[in-house]
Structures are given as C-alpha cells and as structure tokens.
Structure 1
Amino acid sequence: MSSILIVGGYGTLSKELIQKFYKENWRIYTLISDKKLRKPAHVFEQYVFRYDSDSVKEVISSCRPDAILFTGAYDPLYQWDEESRTEESLNYITGLCNLLMCAAMAGIRHFIYVSSEKVFEDEYIVDIKEDMPTTPNSFPGMAISQGENLAMHFNQTTQCEVTVVRIAGLYGIPANREDCTDIYSELCLKALVSGRLEVNAKKVISALFVKDAAEALYLLINAPERKQRLYHISSMEEVTEDGAARLIQEKYSNQIAVADQTIGLMHRTILSNERFCREFPFEARNSYQEILPQMISFMKSHKNLFLQKEERQEGKDVKTRILRLLNKIFPFMESILFFIPFFILNDRAAGSPYFSGIHFYLLYVLLFAAVHGRQQAIFASLLSVIGYSLRQMHTSSGFSILIDMNTYLWIAQIFVVGLTVGHLKDKFREMEADKKDRIDFLTERLSDITAINSSNTKIKNYFAEKIISSTESIGRIYEITSRLDKAATGEVLFAALDTVSEIMETQDVSIYLVSDKEYCRLASASSEKARSLGKSIPMNQYQAIFDVLRSKQVYINRSLDSTLPMMASALFDDKGDMRIIIFLWDIPYEQMTLYQANLLTVVGALVYSGVVRDADYLDALAYRRFIPDTAILQEAAFKEMLEIYRHAAEKGYAELSVFYIKSGSQPLKEQNDMIRPLLRETDYVGVTSDGNLAVLLTNTNANESIYARKRLEEKGIKTYLEKEL
C-alpha cells in the first residue's frame, strides 16, 4: 500500500486530498500545527508539531511515506494579516526549509510543493507558461516565490525529487465563514451579508475547483516518473468579475445589487496548463457555472455558519422585523418626543416678558435640520405648525387663523429656515460621501500608478544598464558588423550568424535563402534547435510567420509556441522580393519587445548589405572563378569554397558532402549543361587537380547526398566517393 504525508491544516484542499487518496487506497498521514483540529476519519495517523520543529525528522522517519505534499500557498495556517505578514513570511520559509531538509535526510522519494498564481502580480497579455519569470510584489507572493526557489534548489542539490505545482485560483464550497478565502466564496459571502456586490469588469478570473485540483495532484504523484519539475494546473476557464457577480445575482432569490466599480487597467493572470495536460490525462470537469449555484444553496441553507449574530436577518422573524421597523421610525419618534418639551416651553413663554422674544419652534426645527437633514426638518416643521395652530386657537377661531396673513408668514419662515439648514446638512453628507468615494478612487488609481511605475522602473533600469554596459551602442554594433567586411569571400552568411547571435543575445540563430516564391532553404544555423524547421521550408505551411514577413514587419511569437521561432525578420532586394530570412530562437519573453524588433531590423539590413557586397564581388570576379561559359569553378576557387564550408561545419554552422565525377571525353560546357540542372542553386561544381569534377553539396550530410548521386547516375553520370578514386 502506498502512503502519503500531507502537511497543512484541514482546509478545502487538504480535506479533498484526504478523500481522493483514501478512495485510491493510499495510507494517509497528516502533519498540522493546530492542536485544536480533530483528525478526519480517513487519516491513518495525525501528527501535531510546528513545521520548523526538530520533531519533524522523527515524524517522517516514523511514517516513511512514499511522497510528502506540502499545501503551502493554500495552507490555512498562514493568514497573511497586515500586522503579522513579516512574521508569517519568515515562518513560511523556515517551515518549508525544515520540511525539505528532513525529507532529504530521510530519503523520501518525492516532495510536492503547492504554489499558486500569487507569484505573478504584474499584468500579462498572454497565458503564463512555466518558463516565464515570477513577478511577486506582495509579502505572500514573495514568500511563495522564495519557497519555489528553495524547492528547486533542493531538487538540484539532493537525491529527493521535488516538484513545484502552481494551482491557479483554487476554490471550493466553504464549510464556514473562515473558509471563504477564494474569489468565488468571497463574492457569495458579500452577497449574503450585504446584498450588494462591487465589481471590477476589468478583473479577469480563472479558478480551479478543488476536486479537479485533487485529481490533478493524484495523477502527478501516482505517475511512475515526471518529465518536468514545475507544472501549472488551472481550469483555463476565464470570466470577468462582473460576469461571476451576475451569475450570483441570478441564482440568489433575494435582490442582489451589483455596483460597477470598474477602474484602472485590465488585470489578467491566467496560468497555462498545456505542459501538464500534455504529460497527464487531465481535464477540468467542474465549471464555475455549475459550482456557484451549489455554493449559494449551501450558504443560504447554513446561514448560521456564515453570518455573524448581528448579520442574521431572517424575514419571518417578528422580532427582527420589529427592530428593523423601529430603526427606521426612530428619527420620527425622536422628533415627536422632543416636540413635547418645546411645545410646553413655547406655551409657557407666551405670557412671560422674559421669554416672549425666544422662538422655541424655530430652535426646534433648526436642531433637527442640523442633526438629521432635510427629511426631519420637514417633519419638525409640520409638528411646529400644528403646535403653533393649537396655541393660536386658545385666543382665536380656526377660521381667523386661516385668513390671518401672519400665520402664513410664520409657516413660511419655519419651512424656509428648516429646509435651508436641512439642505445644507444633506449637501454636507453628500460631500463627505463623495470625498470618501474620491479617496477610494484615488487609492485605486495610486495602486495602478504604482504598478505602472514599477513596470517603468524596470524598463528604465534595463535601458540604464544597456547604456552603461554599451552592449547595444552604435559603436558596439559597428564593431560587430564590421566583421562582415573582414569575412572571407563566400563566408559572409556564416559570419552573419556570429553577428546576429552576439547582438540579439541568443545562441540559436538560423539564416534561410529564398530560392523561389514558395520555398526557402537553410543556408546556415548555429544549433540543432535553430535548424528544427528543416532544411527546406514550404512557406504556405507557416503562413502565420510569412504573412507577417511579407508585409515587411518583424514576426514575434506572442503565443509562445515552442515549435516556432521566437522572432523572425525578412530581408528584401531592390525589387521588393524576399531574399533572406533570419530566425531567432530561445529569446526570453521580456526581451520580445518593439525595441528588440527594431534592433533585429537594423542588424538584418547590415547583414544583407554585407551579403550583397560579397555577391557583387564574386560576380565581378566571375571570369577568374569560373571556367568560361560554364558554372564550374576553377580549381583554386572550388578549394576556397570547400575550405569555407569545412570551417563552418567544424563550428556546427553547416553540413556538407563531397563526391566526384570522372571527367569524360565530352567538353566541360556539355558536362556543365548536363550536371547543373540536377543540382540545387546552392551547390557547387569545380575542377580538381587531376582534371576530374567535384561536387560540393551544401547543408547536406552523407546519407542525404545519395539522392543527388542517384539523380546524376540516372542520367548516365557516374559518381564516386573520394576513397574510391
């Protein structure tokens, strides 16, 4: 029976892993730090120690698991609070380091470190692949990223196989409020508590359901071997934050308000799982469209687990209804309650010579207008009018009051003052709310500006380094490209490889010559990877590349397809025909910029200038290099070309094959007319010292030369290898 040690608190991921490995008949051990946690039913043995404890070594030696899985980024032990994030980061790294050291000393075969998408906190246009550098900005992101580096280091320096797995946006159906830590459960909790969701339509979400994550981890751990040491596991299912909010709004029976708070830049962090799916039979089976309704239903059915005491508002609870009603009518009851003493004071002061000048009703209206605003000012004014009318009816009839102009002046005075002060109070509240919203907006803008500034700083530092080192200065480029002028006749294309490789900072460069409008043939390549497209490329099979090149633009492999070059540039003659193509491979993603594209264009133009100059020079010396009226090289010229290609072959830039033809009694012109149509434009025929003919096949090995010899022999031309002469 296989066994596994799962390190981490009993969060959503750990619980699902326990269920999965139990079903697959694995023996399960767990290591936790919280003594309050109870051992789940399917756990064979539970150990309670700090991850950095000396006892961890004894724990691992005792259970001797086949694999250790550290839940890492999804361990609920680490809360990453603002107050304790520095301490949490330290505990995280020391705990992981101790686990790795103990696993290595105990001879554990496989250690799995679970990371997350938090190590990528910059903005990305394309899907993020495993070979792209991490960009953490926050304490959690930096700690998790350091954990990855630590795990990779142990993988290189110990016999223990360490695998880093980045799980993108893990989510599950939470058991209680504390489990609401992922993006979907947080949205559902906000909808349940406040009935309002504030969303950003520029935030793109891609999350993986916990059952799919557990299935993927099982496939990884149960495999007899793993080809890579770093994998991404994700659903590749994209949805904007407002799209998820609309689904929650649709599934809730209560009215949920969705407020669009879209500001700032597009935030998209999507991990590509292409590498994992290519190696393992994995497919995400659970969609957020199916899981979110289940999550909402569970949270609504178990509100006591998710709502705090003051948040529990059941519609059928009479007490709650009364409290809500009282909360709404309290300001009106307060107005009535305060009206009574003001009414009495006004009645008593009517006949007093000392208080007759005090307008108690006006003071009453001003008080409530200043405290509560316009609504209570109107209500207080109505009560004051009623009180005034009752007092006047002691000495006058109701009809007299109605026709008395002073009554209406008094009422107008009360309402004007009350409404004015109440309006000012409401405006002040609106200003406060606007100011708060403005502060929140500017805070978000500041965050965006900080992110932009961080990117600009990286670019500034990059160019500053370039200026200081001067590796791409005009003088440096001139120094490198001047080597083309010093290259031997016919050797320019091979010298161009060194030139392009050094300037563009890549070891994988290939140069192709366009033989006609449909094919291009390999002229030289600096590595096996650079010649991976083949020695002859049909352009119609790579339209994505050649459509861009025909428009005289630089091709950039933005999809990061490993079977295609990262960048390519075409060189054109005076007639606008494509003549030479330069392919660059293995360029870091951060260097695939407009600057690099322009640099490749400039370098390509210099290379083409050297090639044209070399061709013109050879044409000018054609009468000295070729036998008259033929394309057969003189003996010295052929030896020179043979030496050039042999030198290039020694550097790995080209391949060559040589065979010989016994010269017959026919004139060389007739032999030339028979031989040249059977060879390629890039092949050479020359005269040897004994008067026979030699054929140099460029970029052709010994096995491939058989086809050229066969074509010649079918026409009655006998060919020989050197050893047979």
Structure 2
Amino acid sequence: MKVLVTGGYGFIGSFVAERFFKEGYDVYIIDNRPSGKPEYIDFKHKAYNLSVEDRKCEEIFRTNQFDAVIHLAAQVSVHTSMENPRLDTESNVLGLSNMLSMSGKYGVKKFIFASSAAVYGPIDQCPLPETAPCNPISPYGMNKWVGEIYCRKWEEIYGLESIIFRFSNVYGPRQGTGGDGGVVSAFMEKIVRKEPLTIHGDGNQTRDFIYVQDVADAIYRASYSTITGIYNLSTGKESSINDLVQHLSDLNFSPTIQYQEKRPGDINRSMLDNTLIKKHLDWVPMFDLKEGLQRTVQWHEQRETLNAAAPSVQPKRTSSIHKYIKTIVPYLENLILFLLVAWLTMNEYDASYAYLDFKLIYIIILGMLYGNRQAIIAFALSTGLYVYYQLHNGSDVVSLLYDTDFFFQVSIYLFIALIVGYTIERKTALIRTRETQLATLEEKHSFLSEVYQETRLIKNELQQQIMNNGDSFGKIYAVTKELESLEPDHIFTATVSVVESIMKSSSVTIYTVNSYHSYLRLVAHSKGEQLEAFKSIKVEDTPYLHSVLHEKKLFVNKNLQHGAPLLCAPVVSNGETVAMISLHDMSFEHFTLYYQNLFKVTVDLVSSALSRAYSYVEASSSQRYIQGTSILTTDVFTHILAGKKVAKAKHDIDYVLLQGSGMNAAAGQLSEVVSRSLRETDYVGLDNNGNITVLLSNSSINDASFVLERFAKVGIHLQVMKEDVSYA
C-alpha cells in the first residue's frame, strides 16, 4: 500500500512517515523543505521537492495511485501569518485544495488533515470539546478553520473520506525552535546550552502537551479506520509551564528562570477533550509528559554532542570581489575604448581613414556589447570629445550653438546610441525570456522523466510479482480464459468456478438484476452444502445493495453484518449494473485489501466478458429467435440447455424443463403469453423434436409447481418432462 505524506521532512511529518514505513507501506513525500530536514528520514522512500500548491503534483498522483494522503505541509507560524497573511493562505488553503482535488480525482481512500487548536481562539473552557465554537484570532487559525470546511465539503460533494485532527501542543525530538516551534523545544535548546529559561507571565498558564509519537500513532490508526470527521488529538491533561520546569528539574537539570511580562494574546488555560478519539479510534496516548520530556532531552543532548564533535567549518561567504569585477568591467572597457578613440581623433593618422568617424563606431560597439546604459555613456563621451575637438581646432562655444552641422552630428550620435542600445536590450530581454522558458521546460522535462522512470520501475516490480506470485494477475488471466463464451448463461456458470479458484472460497453467488433494479434473481452459485442462497432478493429490503447497484462500488462487510456477504461487487455492462457477484465466506487471513482488489479485478474481467456476450446476443437476435416471437431456435436452445446440464453437474444448480402437447402448433400466439409468465432468467425454445419447451433456471420441482399454476390460469397446460427429471 502507498501513503503520501506532505511535509514529510518536517517535525511531525518525519515521525508519521517513519511509522507508516515500519508498518510496511511504500512512503512518498512532498516537501519543498522550508523547514524540513531530509536527514530525519533514513529509510527507503520517494521524495518530491515541490510545494503542495504546485500543479506538478498531479503527475505524482496520476502515477502512484495512493491509498492514503496525510496532509501535514503548512505554514505553521502564527506570527508569520499575521505579518504575511497571503503567504499563509497560499500554503494552508490553496495547497490543501490542490491536495484534496488530486486525492478525489485519483481515488485516494482516506485523507487526513492536520488542523490546530488555534481554530478555537481565546477560549478558557477546559476541557474543550470538538463542539465548542470556533473563533480564531489569527490568519493561521482562520485558514485552518477554512481547511476543515474544505475537507468536510469535499467528502460531502465528492465522497472523499477525510479525518480532521485538531492538534494540541505537540512536542518531541526534531522540533524546531523558530517562530512557534513550541515552548518545550525552546526550553530544550536553552538547557543543553546552559542558558536561562524565559517564562512570559507567572508560569501558571496551562497547555495540553502531547508527544509526537502519540500523534503519529493516531494518524496511522485513522488511515485504515472507518471514522471520518473532526477530532481533538491531545492527552486531555493540563500542565502548567511551571510544571514543565519542575519535570525538567526532576531530570537532573537546574535551569535558571527569568520571568518576563505576559505576551499579548496568550491564553491562560488550554486543554482539549480527547474523549471522542479514544472512543471511536480505540486510541490512548502512551507517553506522559515526564517520559516524553526524557526522550526529547536525550535527543537534544545527542545532537549537541554530535555538533560539538563535528569539525568547525566556517560557512562559505559569497565572494563580492567577483561580483564587483563583473560590474565594473563594462565601464573599464568603455573607458579604454574611449581613450583609444580620443587618441585617434586628436592625432594625425593616415588620410585614407579620414572619412571614418571613430566616435560613431565607438558608440555602435559599446551599444552592441552592453546595450542602452553603455551606449548612452559612449554618446555622452563622444559628444564631449567632439566639442573639445571643435574648440581645439579654433571654434568657440557660441559659434557651435549656431552651427547646424554640430547639432546634426550630435543628433546622429544620440540616434545611433538609442537605436543600437534599444535593439540590443530588446534582443537581450528576449534571450533571457527564452532562457527562462527553456529552464522551465528543462525542469518540467526532468520532473516528468523522473516520474516516467519511477513508473517504469513500478511496472517492472509488478511484472516480477506477476511472474512470482501464485495469486497474481497472471493466474487471473489463465483462469478467466474459461469466460471466453458468447452465451451469458455460460459465462455466469463459468464465473462461479473462476471466483472460487481465485478467491479460494466455495461460497459464491451470482444474481442478475431485473430491468427496474428492484429484484435480484439467483442465476448461479457454488455447490457448498453450507451456502444458503435465496432464489430472489428485494433490493429495498437490503441496505448494502444500494452502493453496489446504483453507485457501482465494491461492498466490503467490515462490520460483519449478519445476512450480508463478505464481499459484493457489481457486474457492469454498457454503464448499467446487470448482475451482482457475492462472496459469502473466506478464510480470515484472506480478508485483506489485496484479496479485495483481486476480487474487484476479477469481477471487472467478468463484466468485460459479459458485455461482449450481450453485444453478440443483441447483434444476432434475428438468428436466435423464431421470426416474430421470443422463442429460441433449436440450436440456440440446445446450446443453453447443455450449459445448464454442466452447471448442474459442477455446481448442483437445478433447472426444470416444461412442455405441453400441441404447443408447437401455435408458436406465434403462445410466444407473448409464455414470455410474460416467466422470469428474465428463464427461456422458451424449440427442442430437437420441434416442440416448444420452457426452461426454468435455478428451479426445483417444487418451484415448477407455481409456474405450472400460473400457466394454467391463462389456459396453457404444461408438465415436467419425464426424460429430464434427473436434472430437475
């Protein structure tokens, strides 16, 4: 089974992922690692460095088909939510809605959402039940409350089973100290560093501290339970901050205490009522505060020891010299090139080059190399050089102001600088945009390639399982070759053998559904002596049939309801439920999710075979029935009768043949009358002697007597065929 843990590298997430791994699950993690630490996970898993609101998450869901999703990824700081409510909303609302959408779309069976006691707000009622009014006072608490509404509505609208846990104050190893990391974690850090502890207020304010492994245990239990809804996850015990300090003192610590003023917004008492979760989940916290603190202290001491033993490594600082050089190089090159142009302009040189304007060439080169900024600087320097050159050759400033050639030359410099600079800037921006798009596409390609490789790996593993597993789908394929028939009745008979073989059970029943979906008629069953199968079942008297017939869902009798089968699945043809296959008995070790999936796959194969048979029957109706009647031709009727004899021999499924003298004389007139008096599972056809014969499926001699009376009332007198009494 597969579980996805969002935020799986975080404090709580790493313990949850570890618990599922120990229980044999394949663990997948989505974590963009703002505070998560991959080193917390030292077991085999698959991780994706993504935000939960990222659209790429759909590829992960599409590829892996998770059984459960544990949504722990969130922005967890109340202080941050007050300063940046938009960031909190993106993570805690948009991220949640994305996970809910993907879970509903790709068939996740259970969705668990980590909410918080912050949804209650400043309520001093203790203990605080789930029914208490919610009045959050921070964007964090408000968004968690909105998240709860999302989960409940998603279950109501889309049928995604969800459990919402409102955590009290979780503590334990791996907990961070930043933001709202928790008073326990903050105290641990100060104790191992021998720093004084800071208490805001008098220390008599209480909290409900729950150890992180108890949280992980509750989440694991909930993942395979039948419960849904909102539950407090807590110890149900109050402990003051002074009690916390006393417990630390009992662990041979003697911290120095510094009392400061109470922080605004801090509540005096906090304790959540956990009665509901203990009752519904059969869960109780295993660690009291003293034992949990002892384990937490040991972890912090070990980490401090490792940090002290590790060689001191100075963090690498980004070199500013390289950045400075990269910034100043264009200006240096500009200056050097200008000096060269100035020298060429002010000194005599070969007259053959006199027509060249080096200042214009200088502007073009700088614009092409660096764009607008250096082009404008080159224009300014060139203009200054031109003015100086004119003054040097005898012109004065006043004459230059009236010289149209001067202004034309300066305009040319400016025009070229702007055109070349703009063109290069536009080209550079376009290149950068293409590079960004290319980087995005490369990142997406890398991600999809990773998903593809993972899918290939999973496929190869499944192929190995198919080859090596005795109960594999390869065996299903071999057994279901028996279903290769174009006669629905033969398929039903073969299905009994197929299901018995695959599911290792001898208590299979198959019922067909009437056109009104109001009754089920027994069409085939196992030969087991202990199996008591009703001839017909009224749908409205059988509650579990609603989800099977109308919602087309697999029914699993987890509560062991009396009179209901252990497993029941619909046979669907052309979108309509046409039959129902039930399994009434199986060994306890086979009542697992694996065999449930095996049963569902088998029934799907039966549905496929039956759809083909019904299509064939419909397409060949003109050859199956005598023209203008509902009476089967001799060949078809003989073929169906042969199948009934096989079913009688293999599964002891009774049938009765009825016939009356003279019935072959008025086939057209009798057809409608006879058909109205029979069930949908019965047949009327011509035997080898050309006589109209009635075949009552799954019926005994006693059952036949009622049918004979029904025919007698409409003037048709029949009798049981003596030559086939051995099959009756």
TM-score w.r.t. the length of structure 1 is 0.39
